[in-house]
Structures are given as structure tokens and as C-alpha cells.
Structure 1
Amino acid sequence: MSARARPADPDARRWVGEPPKDTGDGRSPYERDRARVLHSAAFRRLAAKTQVHTAGTDDFLRTRLTHSLEVAQIAREMGARLGCDPDVVDTAGLAHDLGHPPFGHNGEDALDTLAASCGGFEGNAQTLRVLTRLEAKVLAADGTSAGLNLTRASLDAVSKYPWPRRPGQRKFGAYADDLAVFTWLRAGAPAEGRRCLEAQVMDWADDVAYSVHDVEDGIHGGYVTLRPLLTDPDERAALCADVAAAYSGESPADLGEVLLDLLADPVLTPLAEYDGSHRAQAALKATTSVLTGRFVSTVVAATQERFGPGPHRRYAADLVVPRRIRARCALLKGIALRYVMRRPGALSRYQRQRAILAELVAVLVDRAPDALDPIFAPVWRAAPDDAARLRVVIDQVASLTDPAAVAWHARLVGGGAPSVGRGVKLG
């Protein structure tokens, strides 16, 4: 890599050196990063990937694409107030879900089981793989793909879980065969596993968008009502138990106290009285705006109180999220979990989705490389062993949208109901 092609700022460097851009537009490296993500095929595919509700089932409901746009907007505003480069946090918000497979977190869990012999599957590790290997944009000198070849700062900002897989730990940010680029992007981090401020901002923006907007979708869709929580202590206790198990380190008793305060907040009144009218929709939108603003402003103020007014970027500060604010956010996420994701009929749908993915992986293992997309077939042929070939199949399936996964299954397996529990055999 020539010195001319390598920026002096190590945060602005790219894994593969690129010649200077002579477009004369004056854009920073981080503005270019944002544009690369926004124009990528992986980003467009998020339009047909499930957020909480199945993609395409309702014109109002959010997909991974709309969720990512909302995360990016929240992260950009919050990061700018703290002094982060706004394009770095914006890029992180746009890119954070690029690795998520069909069928949301259910698909993620299914692929983790199916990929056990090649290191498992994790949406955030897959995002790094998309950004640095799978997306078609930049080639290295040896002809291998460097993905979008984002700057170090942007890649680090996307790293929500900046460590490889550890025994007993479900969340991680890099597969074993991506450790070279992962080690490179983490250069300059003061401690193993410590996230840069921009990644923390993106993660909190993700939590805020997830909690507030998924409850909004649930209320609009008729799945969520606050009346049982307002009137039934046992229902409140059950919700707090769910939240303690899934989203929070707080005890159910402590969450119960926060929940009572949350339910007493007048801003939630429209959630209990929603009837679908224009007036009700406007009130619901006002509620989501107020909640989002509070979650952002409180965290910005707490961070500035501890670390000073800034500007802060990279490893100069850590995001401060007050305990009760984090608990409120977790409770809203729990409402979506309990009343939307676990609503009657959901289990059978999840089982079918997992069976579709299992059978699709199995048939692609049997019929690769011919059945793979042209971008994956040569990579499969060059793979040195069964584990590497399985990883290519997993990459192929993870890249599919929800409708494409169903269509591929129908074409390759058949139109009948999938057989739950079919395994994958190699060799």
C-alpha cells in the first residue's frame, strides 16, 4: 500500500489501500463509508427481512431496513451532541443489522445450530463478514474481496461485541476466519472487549429504537394493550420475570418498581386508549417521540456530566446510561417480547421458519456449488475443507430475504411442509 493511499489518521485507514479520490466533492472518508453502506445490496435486502413482525405482512410495520434507518438517525443525533463524527455513528446505525439472516432472531438461532461445526452463527459477526468480505465493492491485490472496505473507525463503531466467540457466550463479533481483519480494526483499542464510544452510541440507539418502535408497531397492530398491566399485579410480575430473563440484570422486584413508575407516566396514556383513529395515531406517534427524546437526552446529559462537555470520540469517554433509564427501555422491549413475539400461534410459525432454514442448508450442502449464487459458488470451490464449505452455504442462506428463503426452499426442497428437525451432513 503506498503512503499516498494511506491516510495519516489511523482511524481513517482502510484494510485495503485505495488510490485517492479525485472527484473534487470534498467528502470525508467517513462520508464515503456511509454512502457505501447506503448503496450496498445487503442494505437493500433489509427491506424484506423481519424486524419483529414478519416482513411484508402490514404496510405500517417496520422491517430491518426501516429499523436501521431509525437507529442511524437516533445515533447520528446523539453522537453529534457528544462530539462523535456524525457520519461514523450514522454508518454504524445503517450497517449494524446487515448480517441478520431471514426470519429475525429466530433465523439467527436456527443458523447458529446449523453452523455448529464451522464456528456457529451470530448476526453481529456476520455483519463484519458482510462489510469486510461478502459485499461486492473493493478487491484486494490478490483478487479476494475486501467487502465495502470501510475505515477502521467505522468498522470499530459497528462492533457491538468486539471479541471472538468464547465458550458459553452466545454474543460475539468475529468468526475465527475473520480474525485478521478484526485484529486490524481493533488496533488502538485500549483494552480487549472495550467498545468505542461510537459503538456504544449505536448500541443504545438500537435499544431505544427497538423498545419504542416495536411497542408502537404492536399497539398499531392490535397485539399490545397496556390494560392488563395497569390492572393485574400478576401480569406485571410475569412481564418483569420475562424482562429479567431476557433483557436486564435487574431483579424482577426492582423491575416491578420501575414498571409502576413507567405505567404512571402520563405520556403512556395514548398507549392504553388506542383505537386506530387519526387522532389516536397522532397521539401514539407523539408518545414514541417523547420516549425517544427522553432516552437520548438523559443519556447525553449523564455522559457529559461524568466526562465533561466534550467533544468526545473513539475511546475518550464511555456512554453513561442511568440504571432506571436502562430498566425502562428493557421493560418496553419486554412488552414487545411478551405480547408480540410470544403471541398465540407464534411458536408454530417459528418452528416452520427454522425447518425451512434447516432443509435449505441441507439441500445446498448436497447441491453446492451448482445451486449457489454466482458470487458464492467460486468461494465454495476454493474452500479448503468441509467446515469452510459449510460456512459458504451459511453465508448464502444468511444473505437471503424472508421471501427469498421461502422461494428457495420451495424450488430446491419442494412445496410440501418442511420436516422439522432435519439435520445437515457433510462429506
Structure 2
Amino acid sequence: MDDDQRRRRLIPEPVDRFATGEEYPEYRVDLERIRFSPYFARLSAVTQVVSPSGVGQVVHNRLTHSIKVTAVARAIAMQLTTTDPEQNAIVERLGGCDPVVVQAAASAHDLGHPPFGHLGEQVLDRLARERLGLAEGFEGNAQSFRILSALDVCETVKEGLNLTAASRAAVLKYPWGRTIHRPDLDPADPTRMPRGSTASRWETAPPKFSAYTLDLDDMLDARSAFTAIAPWQQTVECSVMDVADDIAYSLHDLDDFYRAGVLQQAAVAVEFRTFLRDQHTLAALDADELWSRAPGHSLELLRRRIVSRDPWIASDEHFRASVQRVATELVEGLLAVPFDGSSRTERAIESFVSSWIGRLQRSVLVVEEPNVRSGHVSLLPEAWHDVTVLKFVHTRFVIDRPDFATYQRGQSRVLDVLVTELDSWLDDPRDGPRAPQKLLDFVELATDGYFRLRADNPDWLPADPESDSGRPQGDPRALGRLGRARGILDYVASLTDEQATALAARLRGDREAWAFGS
């Protein structure tokens, strides 16, 4: 690949003042623009999974998570480009793997996470489609790309950060849209579709994607620099970021749960011991019988799910070995000693996390022609199963806990109030102009974007719901409604958890929020 093609920006600009002796200072510009972004700083006040309240500032937020993903991703990138000459040759044929580009992508990958993390993402998607009439809904990955492409600003362009093609492409974990420019594969068989691309029974709904139609031209421009990569595949640098995200997520959440005391060793131990003891019996049960049994049934359901969803890599032998390894080192090892804040337990968690991260980030390989559900850089089968089982622990024993539902119901209500009240405010002809200026700016930006779509790519516009012909919406009032809806989502997604809660209280007229500026 032509290096100039990878380093292409939407608008050329001088970069000499950033030069630090590096071969490609353009990538350093990308990294620093992301790190100096207010959207990046905001991540320090967005919950990863467990809120810091009540347990002190010991748990991860989206910022600390992103920083650690960046460290893991850089280590993997350096490993790929300095160890195996044959592996390095494959990387170069696929477009290269610059460690600074990988760090930029890792720093940016969670910028679009709304208040309250993944729960907020799901709630905003539902509200976008059902309340605001946006067929594309809301998606955190697409929101991250939208921030880089349009919402954030820098000194050289009016909209976006004007990143290189390499850095923009490295953020595209799911390089397609929700309604158009999707993989032209076999949607009837989820094992033949890219991971996350379909809302099948094997995937979490809704399907994932990396660009709204407003930003598709930017996505396609960035991807055009990587002609050796299949349309549905990540670039090598994006694959490295994605693997690093999986590694960090699987371990740092466990770190948080252990410190917060919400991961109870007894319940986890019973599940793992029973599965290891009764695996053959559990495997022989039909689905109805399995659902009625506990413990051990959750791990057996996980095994069946990965075998059905990912037969290209799933292995009963590897799965049992991973369950045994996690049982020994996490359940019977780390969790057997409750965290009490002492130096002894601090060393224990540090030793556990660092040893697992070291082993997992060394367990990667480069594949020139990967399975459609994998990437050019992926984990070895043993490590892939390890990450799957580690994720299972915090999903089954923390996130799915009934007592978490109380908090989640309240957080959902906050987002519902924000979307409903802001939409009503903007619809008020007398008071609408007094809405927050940032909200008005976002609405104007999105509305202008839809009018550009009508001029440049009218087929990308959503179909008019009032038309039997399925023709795209082109009426100025319809485009204005779409722009207002997207602008509201851009605004709400830019808030921190605390800002969202406080603003919802003020919009509801709660007495404690009446004080000006509270």
C-alpha cells in the first residue's frame, strides 16, 4: 500500500510543528488530537460497569479502561512488527500496523459511549427508533466515529478532527452501516456473518455498525486506502485494538468486582465445580431440562452457545481447559481471599491481572485470510476460550444480578426523560431558541448533514414512512425532524453520568434541582 494513501487526511495540513523525530508524525497528530479532546476527558466521568460511589476511586471508568486498552494494544502492535518476519510480511501486505495508529484507535474506541455505558446505549437506541423515528437508532461505535468525523473540532477544519485514513479506519470495528453498506453475505446463517452484524439469536440485539449514514462517506473514504482488506473485515490496526479491548475488558472488570466485593466466591465456585464434575451429564440434557438445573447449567449454556455461534474456533477440549484454568487461578485462587484493601490483597489482584494480560497479549496470531467472524489479528484458540470464560464470570455473577436491575431502571428513566423533554423543548416555537447552545449546534450540524445527503447521496436517506413507494425522505420538514432527532442523541450521548442525572432532574422540575446552577 502507498504510505501517502494511509496518511491521507480529508483536508491536507502542515504537521511539522508536531514532528518528534518519528517517521510518520501525522499519526502522532491523530493521537494527540484524540487525547486532548474534551470527549476523551469526559470518559473519566462515565461508568465502566460498577459506579465508584461507595467503594472509593478504585474502580475503572471509561477513561482508565481506554488507557489500559491503549497499553495492551501497543504491546501487541510492537510484538507483531518486531518478532516474526513472515508474520510481519503478512501485516505489510494487509496495509501495515503502526503502533501510534493502534494507540490512537484504542484511545478513541469508547468516545461514543453514552451515560451509563452499555445500558445507556441500548436505551438510547430504543428511544431513537421508537420515540424519535430514527431507523438507524443509536450505536456506540457509530457515535465514536461520528465524534471523530463531525462533532469534535480542531484548529484546521470546521467539523471533526481531520484524522488520517489509517486512524479513521482503525476505529471501524464494524465497518458497515445499519441499513445500507452492509456485508453481502448469508444472513440466514449467523456463522457466515461477521461478528456483531446481525441481530440473530446468537448476537446481542441490536446489530452493531460503525457509521451512521451521515458519516458513511467518511467511513468509505478511510476504508478506500485498504484495498487488500475485505469490506467486512477490520484493518490490522483495528483488529489489534479490538483484541486488546477484549483482553482488558475481560480482566479489569473482574478487578473492579473483586475490589467492590460484589463477586461472591461461593456462588462462582459452585457453578465451576459442578460443571467440571458433571459436564457429561449436563451435555446430555435437552434445553428444557438444562434450564431447570442449577448450578453448572450456565456454563453448559455458554458452551452450547459458542459451539453454535463460532464453530470455526469453538472446542469442547479448549473450553473445559479454560474453565479449569479460571477455576484454579480466579475462583479458588484470587476470590478465595476477600479483598480487604491490604497490601496483600492489592498484590494478589495485581499479580493475577498482570500475569493474565501478559499471557493473553502474547497469544495472538496474524491470519491473511481469516474466518468471516474473526479478524486478521486474533487470539489463539486457547486464549479465545479463556477470554470467553472470564467474560462469563462477570456477566453471570455481576451484571445479571437482580439487584443491579434497580439502578438500571432508574438510569433508563433518566435517559427517557432527557430525550422526551429535550425533544419537547425544541418543538416549542417560543422557548426552543433558549435550549442549550450545544444542543442547538448539534441539531444544526445534523440537519445540514441530511440536506447534504439529499444533494449528494439521496439513496442513503431513510424511506419515507408515509410513502407506499419506499422513496427516500426528501421533504425539508422531514429532514429537519431527522436532524433534530440526531442532534438530541448527539447531545445526550455527550453528557457524563452525573450531568445526565442532574439535567433530567432539572427538566422534571425536581425541587432539589431548582437552585440555579445546581
Equivalent residue letter for 2:297: A
Deviation at 1:253, TM superposition (A): 6.5
Q: Decide which of 360, 365, 384 is 1:295's aligned counterpart.
A: 360
Deviation at 1:54, TM superposition (A): 2.2
Deviation sequence 1:321-360 (CA, Å, 0-9, x none): 2223112101111111122212232112111111110111
User: Is 1:200 aligned with 2:213?
Assistant: no
Match in the other structure for 1:40: 37
Match in the other structure for 1:111: 124
8 A contact 2:438–2:491 mirrored in 1 = no
8 A contact 1:30–1:87 mirrored in 2 = yes
Match in the other structure for 2:174: 161
Percent sequence identity is 34
Match in the other structure for 1:121: 138
Compared CA separation, residues 340 and 371, structure 1 to 2 (3 A): farther
Q: Decide which of 407, 415, 429 is 1:357's aligned counterpart.
A: 415
Deviation at 1:24, TM superposition (A): 5.7
Number of aligned positions between the proteins = 394
8 A contact 1:240–1:255 mirrored in 2 = no
Compared CA separation, residues 61 and 379, structure 1 to 2 (3 A): closer
- Matched position secondary structure for 1:387: helix
CA distance, structure 2, for counterparts of residue 246 and residue 40 of structure 1: 38
CA distance, structure 2, for counterparts of residue 359 and residue 264 of structure 1: 43
CA distance, structure 1, for counterparts of residue 68 and residue 156 of structure 2: 31
Deviation sequence 1:112-157 (CA, Å, 0-9, x none): 01111222110000000001111121564xxx41x11111101111
Match in the other structure for 2:58: 60
CA distance, structure 2, for counterparts of residue 242 and residue 348 of structure 1: 26
Deviation at 1:80, TM superposition (A): 1.2
CA distance, structure 2, for counterparts of residue 252 and residue 164 of structure 1: 32
Equivalences for 1:9-408 in 2 at 5 Å?
9-22=4-17, 25-26=20-21, 28-57=25-54, 58-83=56-81, 84-116=97-129, 117-118=133-134, 119-138=136-155, 140=157, 144-145=158-159, 147-166=160-179, 168=199, 170-189=207-226, 190-232=229-271, 233=274, 234-241=294-301, 249=310, 257-266=320-329, 269-276=333-340, 277-299=342-364, 302-303=365-366, 318-368=376-426, 369-370=432-433, 372-381=435-444, 383=447, 384-408=479-503
8 A contact 1:360–1:413 mirrored in 2 = no
Equivalent residue letter for 1:173: S
- Matched position secondary structure for 2:295: helix
Segment drifting more, 74-83 vs 225-234: 225-234
Equivalent residue letter for 2:414: I
Equivalent residue letter for 1:70: K
What is the TM-score of this pair, normalised by structure 2? 0.70
Deviation at 1:230, TM superposition (A): 3.1
CA distance, structure 1, for counterparts of residue 116 and residue 298 of structure 2: 26
Structure 2: runs of 5+ lacking an equivalent:
82-96, 180-197, 200-205, 275-293, 369-374, 427-431, 448-478, 513-518
CA distance, structure 2, for counterparts of residue 260 and residue 24 of structure 1: 48
Segment drifting more, 397-406 vs 368-377: 368-377
- Matched position secondary structure for 1:235: coil
8 A contact 1:376–1:396 mirrored in 2 = yes
CA distance, structure 1, for counterparts of residue 503 and residue 306 of structure 2: 32
Compared CA separation, residues 51 and 23, structure 1 to 2 (3 A): closer
- Matched position secondary structure for 1:320: strand
CA distance, structure 2, for counterparts of residue 374 and residue 335 of structure 1: 44
Compared CA separation, residues 172 and 244, structure 1 to 2 (3 A): farther
Match in the other structure for 2:185: none
8 A contact 1:126–1:174 mirrored in 2 = yes
8 A contact 2:319–2:385 mirrored in 1 = no
What is the TM-score of this pair, normalised by structure 1? 0.85
RMSD: 2.7
Equivalent residue letter for 2:16: K
Match in the other structure for 2:183: none
- Matched position secondary structure for 2:101: helix
CA distance, structure 2, for counterparts of residue 22 and residue 275 of structure 1: 48
